[in-house]
Amino acid sequence: MRSFSDLDEAVVIDVETTGLSPETDRIISVSMLRVRFSSLQRNPNHLEGDTLDAEFNPRRKIPVAATRVHGITNEDVADKGPFAESAQQLRDFIGTCPIVAHNAAFDKAFLSAEFKRAGVRTLQRNKSYCTMLRYQDMNGGRRTGSNLDTVLQQFGIPGRSGRLHLADEDVRLTCAIAREFYLIDNGLISAPSNEA
């Protein structure tokens, strides 16, 4: 499992999609937060960065099941452009930085698939740090109970403002979890004693 101890500048990401397949589904919302985790060595309580948030028209109907997760409807994105129009801007924002996400394989696969369709360089060479896998590793590899809400509760971090998964909110919550792992892996704080 990749330790968070060597993180410096990274981009925390979260995507909301029309479904679960990067090949057939599309991103309809993305939020990115570029932060310098190494600044936590000087100030463990302060982590800020540049953000980029965008919504896209997937050019297909958003299934009701997906809308139940993130609350985004076809009407909400009817006047938005397709992902391809913003692909280069999003890719440039990430640059060569590592990716940090909760279930990083999901977010990275979706972004890479969208970039490839748009003719933009994928994220294949960008390192990734997964807060979900790191949490599972902290709990002896146990996979159950490693969703974002449970991990937030474990660290005593206030959770979502409502039931919906909003990319801009989830990226900040994931960043808060990554901050904890960065501090733990650098020996600046101890891991929670009441591990799930």
Query: What was the pLDDT predicted at 196?
Result: 44
3-class DSSP state for residue 85?
A: helix
- Which SS3 state, helix, strand or coil, does residue 128 take? strand
pLDDT tens, residue by residue, 139-192? 888 888 899 999 999 999 998 999 899 999 999 999 999 999 999 999 989 998
Q: Within 13 Å and on the Cβ side, how many CA atoms surround 78?
A: 4
pLDDT digits (tens, 9 = 90+) for 67-122: 999 999 999 999 999 999 999 999 999 999 999 999 999 999 999 999 999 999 99
pLDDT score at 1 = 62
Strand partners, 52: 32
Kindly list the structural domains of the chain, giving each domain's residue range(s) and its CATH number in brackets, ordered by start.
Answer: 4-185 (3.30.420.10)
